[in-house]
Structures are given as structure tokens and as C-alpha cells.
Amino acid sequence: MFSILKQVQDYAKESWQAAKYIGQGLSVTFDHMQRRPITVQYPYEKLVPSERYRGRIHFEFDKCISCEVCVRVCPINLPVVDWEFDKQVKKKKLNHYSIDFGVCIFCGNCVEYCPTNCLSMTEEYELASYDRHELNYDNVALGRLPYKVTQDPMVTPLREFAYLPKGTNEPHGLPSGSQRAGKRPEEILKEIEAARPKPKEEVN
Amino acid sequence: MNSGIDLQGSFIQTLQDFGLPLGVAKAFWLPLPMLLMIIGATVGVLVVVWLERKISAAAQQRIGPEYAGPLGVLQPVADGIKLVFKEDVIPAKADPWLFTMGPVLVVVPVFLSYLIVPFGQNLIVTDLNVGIFLWIALSSIAPIGLLMAGYSSNNKYSLLGGLRAAAQSISYEIPLALSVLAIVMMSNSLSTIDIVEQQSGYGILGWNIWRQPVGFIIFWIAALAECERLPFDLPEAEEELVAGYQTEYSGMKFALFYLGSYVNLVLSALVFAVLYLGGWEFFIPLDKLADWIGIADTTPWLQVFTASLGIIMTLVKAYFLVFIAILLRWTVPRVRIDQLLDLGWKFMLPVSLANLLITAALKLAFPVAFGG
């Protein structure tokens, strides 16, 4: 007799708890409705990529020594280095260089290991094309510099969250010259140099 | 008692004054409310689609449709026009007749149910004395259409979606009908007009929500399941079944399904407002207020005012419920099929039965408060 009553009581309690949790969830959803949108209206507004952004790779033809380190460090040996040995100057002569960005995973190993710094990462990320073969960039295409978001008159550049001043999370309508939270790299460098003891004169 | 505006009576009277016989005058009147109902339901859907997209966007901190018209209000119209101009594909080896009949069978009963939704004392297409029963009966035709659509598509996802839709509708129709039955028992009538009348007189305190708190929740859960709204949208669960019974549909036939689901949502919200939130009644009893100030019941401007307020109140209540449904969509995760049937048969059915019995007992014990 009492066990049935207890069962009913437990059942009622569980139903009440379920209702309570759904209510709590509803209040969370309702609270979100009065928050500002965090979206970026993409073709009209664009985020400024951070300085460590790994976008399309840039290549400087004249700096390359055809050492093929980029091919060796690449996870799938992607860069195609076409060179021939020039017997007169006893050096490798680079004919063609290409990277297929349809296959590249933008890990940045080639940029990291290039001995002559002829490879570098850009902030270009709009690589859409109608044919996947168009993503196979040759040395001319790799040598092009991307447009900067900040210089495009059609686009409102917006800062990423980490680059906003302290306490704000709204990139729209920032006052000009406002700086991100924390110290900038050059400030840190200046502080380190100021704190370092000045080199003493050599004592014999 | 017949307060408020009688549009039908005055329209027929006017035509008769022009010298038309009574039958012809009535024939002229007949298509008007039907047309108005179809237009009203379609516009209501456009509003709901826009609201759904905007509220969903707000709940997810997005902006939502913005460029089609001011604040994107024309977005549903644009969607509709796009669907009208799309190619009508019937998949290979599908049954063309059943495939075409499916969406029709889903949409037509939903539109028919608008017959019994009252917006005022005389602002209703037909005051049937089996009104609310008609709604329940018509809403059980839709799953046949869904099953037809799913079965005839020659697609396993469609078939599974159709079967799920049928199972879901059947298991949630019973608690829905039982909770409606409790209301009907309290108002001693199946007519939607009488159900609202029974709640009137005390303003917000007289609404059925206070006398039927359990029925109110049961009805809302069952109505969400009937409309296949998010916590119960298993028939079209895109992660499992692509789009359920709609998978093979495109163009106008898909638009019919889409329209039907939203019309059904608005309809459920309207019926809900009628059953539990006092229909067209204002928060305070207006006729008592008018009496107290000293304005006669038959004053023309007062009648126009109460009639328009009635329409606005019905819509406000219905759209408030639609808002709750949209909010629930982004709060509650989808239940599994076994949980769905568990909830329907093991929780909703006994609770709604108990609710019915308790209502009956209360009706016998306190006939004053529970419509003896």
C-alpha cells in the first residue's frame, strides 16, 4: 500500500523536476534574446585576421634555392619544385613551383622550415573557385599579395574578440586608436630591454 | 444573448434590401468568410515563418533575415515564390497519385479546421455544435496523408518518416482528446463559442487555465507533438532521416507540407487560446466595465471596439503560444522514438485520464466553479 504511494510520490517528484529543468532552460534561451548579435555581416563586414593567421601561402620565386625542405616537411609532400642543375654556375635553377591549396592543410610547416624565408603565410582565406584545379597555384599566383581587409572601401573591417579593448565585446563603432587589452609585443620588448642590466665595461 | 456585430446578418439584410431573394443573398455571403479564412491563415503563416526565423536568430545571437523588406518581413514571401517556380519532381518508381495526394491530404484538413476558430461572438465561419470535435477528427486525417507521402516516395527515409509521423500522431491524439474532453465537460458543450462564453465574465480569473492547469500542459505537449515541432520532430529529424516524409518533395508539393505544418502550429495555438486562455476575452471583463461606466451594450462604437479587441486578443494569445513554441524549439533537445512513445503512453495518457476523472469529481462536488 505504502510502496504504491511512494511510487506515485517519486513519479510526481520526477515530473516536477523535469518541468523545473525545462523552465530553467527556457529562461536561459529567453535571456539570450536580449543579447546583441555577435555575427559579422560577411560580405559587407569582415574580421581582420590575426597576425598569426595561417592563410594562403605566399612564395617569392627569387629567394628560393630549390632545396626541397618544404617538400620534406610537408605531411603529404605537396609543394612541386621543378628545378634543373645549371652547370655553368654550379647551382640549382628553379623553373616552376606550385602548391595545390585544394589539398594543403595550411599547417605552416613549409613556412616554418624554409631556410631562405621565401615562403610566408598571408591572411587570404577566400579561396572559393568553380573548379578544383584552379586551386593549384603556380609560382605567379603564389607570388600575388592578397587585398587587405582594412584597405577595401567596400568592407567594414572588424576586430576579432582578442583584439578588442578591455571590457568590450562589440567590435562595431570602436573609437579610433583604441588598443587591445594587454601589452603589445613592441611594448613588452621595450620593457625587457629597459629592465636588462646595461652591459658593463669589460674589466680586465 | 447575442451581443457584438453580426456581419452575416447585416450583409444578407443589405442584399435583400436591394431586392435579391434570401437564397441568392446567402449564396453571395458564403464564399466571403471562406476566402477570408484562407487568406487569413496564409498571412498568419507568413507572419509565423518570419517570427520563427527572427526569434530563432535572436535566441542564437544572430540577426536573421534582413534584406527582403524592412526587417526581412518579405523573406517568407520570397521563400514561397521560390518554391512556386521550382521544378516539380516525381521520383522514379514513385506512385504519382499517392505522391500528389499526400500533401493535399495534409493541408486541406488543417485549413478546414479554421472553420471552428472564433474571433468574436459572431466572428466565426461556422458555429458548429460539434466544433472542437471537428478539429480533433480533422487533425487525425493528416497522419494518413503523411503516411501516404512517405510510402509512395520510394525512399526508405521517407517511409520511416511517414511511419514515425503516424505512430506519433496516433499516440498523442488520445491525451489531446482527453484534455479537450475535460474542458468540454466543464462547459457542457462542444461548440467553441460556448467554451469561450463559459470562461467569460471574470476576466483573466475566469479562464480555463486556472481550472485545468494539468490539462493545459498536457494539451500543449500533445499539440506540439501533433504539429511535429522540435522536441517531437522525429518524423523529419534531419540527422537521422534526411527530412523524413518530405525527403523526395520539392517545389509546390514541398511548399504545401511547409505551409501545412505552420498553419497547423497557428491553428493549435488558436485552439489553445480558445480552450484555455479565454479566446477573444480581454484580461478584464469589458462588458462589466462598460456597464459600470454607463455605456449601453448596443452602442455601435463599443461593439466595433470590442469586436476588434476580440480579434486582437485572440491573435495576441495565439502568437504568444507560438512564441513559447519557438523558444521551446531552441531549449529542449529532440526525444528519441522510444522516449516519445514512453511519454505519450505512460505519462500523458494516465495523467490526462486522471485529470478527466478529477474534473468530473470536481464538477460534481463544486458545480458553481466547474460548470455543473
pLDDT in tens, B15-64: 888 877 888 877 877 788 788 888 888 888 889 999 999 888 888 888 88
Residue B240 clears pLDDT 80, i.e. is over it: no
Do the chains contact at B61 and A37, CB–CB below 8 Å? yes
> Angle at Cα A188 formed by Cα A186 and Cα A192, nearest 5°?
115
What is the rounded CA–CA span in Å between residue A52 and residue A122? 9
How much is the average pLDDT of B251-260? 86
The pLDDT value recorded for residue B4 is 54
Q: Distance, in angstroms, between B329 CA and closest chain A CA? A: 10
What is the rounded CA–CA span in Å between residue A28 and residue B325? 15
Confidence band (pLDDT; 50, 70, 90) for B1? very low
CA distances from B60 to A42, B55, B334, B359 (A): 17, 9, 17, 41
What is the rounded CA–CA span in Å between residue B165 and residue B159? 10
pLDDT digit string, tens, across residues A75-126: 999 999 999 998 998 889 999 999 999 999 999 999 999 999 999 999 888 8
Do the chains contact at B331 and A32, CB–CB below 8 Å? no
Task: Please check whether residue A4 touches B, CB under 8 A.
Answer: no
Nearest CA in chain B to A26: B331
Confidence band (pLDDT; 50, 70, 90) for B5? low
Secondary structure E strands in chain A: 45-47, 57-59, 80-86, 91-100, 119-121, 136-137, 156-158
Q: What are phi and psi of A91, to 5 degrees?
A: -140, 160
Nearest CA in chain A to B325: A26
**Residue to test with chain A: of B330, B339, B348, most A Cβ within 10 A:** B330
What is the rounded CA–CA span in Å between residue B118 and residue B270? 9
Task: Please check whether residue A30 touches B, CB under 8 A.
Answer: yes
How much is the average pLDDT of B75-79? 88
Q: Distance, in angstroms, between B55 CA and closest chain A CA? A: 8
The pLDDT value recorded for residue A200 is 67
Do the chains contact at A38 and B61, CB–CB below 8 Å? yes
The sign of the CA dihedral B237, B239, B240, B243 is positive
The neighbouring-strand residues paired with A120 are A58
**ipTM value of the model?**
0.71
Task: Please check whether residue A35 touches B, CB under 8 A.
Answer: yes
Nearest CA in chain A to B217: A19
For residue B87, give the C-alpha cell.
Answer: 521544378
Do the chains contact at A26 and B347, CB–CB below 8 Å? no
Tell me what the pLDDT averaged over chain B comes to: 83
**Residue to test with chain B: of A15, A29, A45, most B Cβ within 10 A:** A29
Model pTM score: 0.79
Do the chains contact at A22 and B58, CB–CB below 8 Å? no
Between the ranges A8-17, A129-138, B82-91, where is the mean pLDDT highest? A129-138
pLDDT digit string, tens, across residues B223-237: 888 888 878 877 776
CB-nearest partner of B63 from A28, A32, A39: A39
Residue A142 clears pLDDT 80, i.e. is over it: yes
What is the rounded CA–CA span in Å between residue B64 and residue B75? 10
Chain A neighbors of B59, CB-CB under 8 A? 29, 32-33
